[in-house]
Structure 1
Amino acid sequence: MSALIYKQRFFHPNRPKTAVSNYVHIGYIATRPGAVRHENLSHGLFGKLQPGELQAFDSWQEVARIARQISQQGKNMYRSVISFRKETALELGLTDFAAWQQYIEQHISTLAAHNQMKTENLCWAAVFHNEKDHPHLHVVFWDRKQQIMKNFTHPEIPNRIRKQLIKDTFAYKIKQFCAQRDQLKSGITEVTENIVEEFGAYLKRLDPKAFRAFQHRFEQEDEDSLLRFPKHHLMEPTSVKRLSEKLFELRRHMPKTGRLAYKLLPPETENLLDAMVQDLLQENRYLAQLVGDYVQAKLNLAMLYDSGPEHLDKHRAKYQAEAEKRIANRILSTIRSIIKLEQEASLDIRQTNRQYALAEQLLLALLNLMEGLFMHTQLDYDDKSKAMGGELSKQAKKEWLLRHKDQGLER
């Protein structure tokens, strides 16, 4: 166990989806719940894309576009996480956004040096996630002058970074630890790797239960699952319970036979489903935010082809309805699963805990759905706005509109 957690990985640039994955990763870490955001901005991304002053980026997209571009050029973009237990962060004075910014600015050179990057060629961006029990920092970084593509990082490299961060972060406390062990009296003045490990073991013994939870959270989970995990904090038990009750009430109004599709539902059942969608958007702010982000991204995309202000409200209403249709269809998909489970004699769907679990799974699925739709619509906008440069031809506009008309919807 360690006094801090450091994780590092990258996706190989030759992997077909690496460029898009890196773009989406930056969007996720910059906007997820728990990310401490800049005042009056929708994200919390900061860093340096060239030597100089620390920069609060105007948008996360400007960094994501660069990350995508360098991936397409065969350069490696590293994803890393630095975390402390809450109590440790408080003791170190890492109590606010500014303190975490200062911390990574002081220590980013350690990440660069152990990955054989020159400081003047280092590009990096970070986001502070102020989670309740384990505040942490997501850092992405790359070498803008990289010439040779890397396909492997030896596990010892992040391990060495972790040890160096401990040495630099806890220098005073390690000296205190050595003094308690009478090691200073025996002439030991250098903080060796063995002392770092002994110091970590000492901290672990102070609160074994808390450190086990900390270890599992950041060492047993892979880096991408750390991004999915915080969604559970978005769901209040009372809200999930109400969703469960509404879900099974809606199930009782489903037709006994025939295909379960929105356009085939009785009017009463259709009204119940529509009301359930509106209730979800009222009760879950993050879901509503994602729907709003998706609608805006679709609107930006449409404005590349039709920028007339008289059409904006019409487009906005259309994309809002589209998002709500997708949510309704996902609810129907869950109800199909419920009906299937009811038909399996070995499963008692009437159990309250099982109903709660299904409702929770539904809400997580909706958050994943809208996150993915927003990110990929934003990516589509970036591609088209870059490709256009100017205006598309009327024929190109017509073809695009026909191709995307009511795409992927079923009512």
Structure 2
Amino acid sequence: HGMFTDEGEVINLSAVGKEMDEHTGNIWGLIFSLTREDAERLGYNSAEQWMNLLRSRRNDIAKEMNIAPENLRWYAAYHNAETHPHVHMLVWSKRPQEPYLSTTGIYNIKHTIAGDIFRQENLCIYKKQTLARDDLKAEFRARMRELEYEIRRGDFDFAPELVQKFSLLCEKLSEHKGKKQYGYLNKNTKKIVDDIVKMIAADGRIAELYDLWYQCQCEIQRTYTDEMPAKIPLEENKEFKSVRNNVVATAFEIGHIPTQRRREIGYDYTEMRDKANDFEYLKEKAEEGYFMAMYRLGRYYLENTTEMIDAEYWLEQATEGENTAAMYQIYKAYRDGKFTTTSSHKMKYLRMAVDYNCHYAEYEYSKILKENDPKLSREYLERAAKHGNPQAQYDLGKQLAEEGQQEEAIRYFEAAAKQNLWAKTSLGLMYCYRFDEWDLGMEHLNEAAERGYEPAVEAVNAIHRTTIPKNNYAEKQILGDEQLDAFMEEIKKEEYWYDFFYVEVMT
């Protein structure tokens, strides 16, 4: 009869037929077929070779069909068709309710069987694919070393968007308390890493190697299906997860991206960071002409001494190197009364920082203009938000919400929350009590709390201690006067709720 099954089992055709007739569940028929050319070349032109293959893979097939190995029943027969030698395999379970075969399961069974059949032929493709993968990883590491080298020198030859993303990642990692590996990061930080990988993956050589890797993947898949795999982006491919960890490791090593724009060859930014409060070191480097050291020295005088003339001098020197932080620091010192020369200097340095797209300065300028020129104030608020200022993003979101543009408002709230724990906490509360998105709101609050932000911790604890805020807002109850009084009395017991409801809701 030419049928075969598990080794050692004697096949009785009538008994098999009776078992199948009485079976109350599904019986699956699987067909594995080859062209005559492939069957002859690979040795799958006889029942014995197919029998050995299916016996060796019976547990893998059972797994993909959600059948316990001990419950698997199967029989197969080889048909030596002229153009396409093939095997019919019937599969079922002793427990009729047990099996389930999904599209993924079918794919995995094909992949397993074809992988065994074409293993030798695919070896050269696997080697080629492995080489492309290893070369891509090496090229990626080289690009990361170049990026790190340029950043430490203060010479940003890379795309501004990439440097901005890297700066944000450095900031996020400085707040991260767990392992500095991709898998241990929160989803927002992972998104930043993914964006960086995506930008670097656009590099010509890296894109070329990834195309080669994908072509090899298609060649392998052609052995068992005509449907080619989707080309997933590099940043989402688990085969290349090491490149994401490489980004994290590099950002952690750098720690902080200097704001200095002009190249300062030979200046060790790591050393400067470690000696930010070393007066003698900063003075020596500032006198040697390093703009970042001038800025740090000016900050040292400003924050640790009463020598405001020296502070102003060194900060002004730093502005010659287009240091926007120095420009904005001078403005703040005038604003706060620490520098006392003519007030025109204050606006001079603020506008200078604005011209260099310093988002802190743009946000400050927007606030100054708000009373006398609301339209121009809005323009600078939008600029600051676009350049990544979290407070500007939050304020712009509030204005858009008041204008009825809720979708756009949420986009800015989310942008602010990605950078700032205060904004994340406020957004979490808004999702809960304004937008009636309780689960999403709690996700933001819990994430901020997990990162140690005390107001978020207080908010989460308050939510657990009292249900009145949640119940009345989530259910959108309209309260009578007595109910409202009772509600507000309960709120007053929780300091955080009291502040939030009066500031965010009552206004």
Q: TM-score, structure 1 length as denominator? A: 0.32
More helix by share: 2
Larger radius of gyration: 2
Give the number of the structure with larger relative contact order, counting CA–CA contacts within 8 Å between residues 6 or more apart. Answer: 1
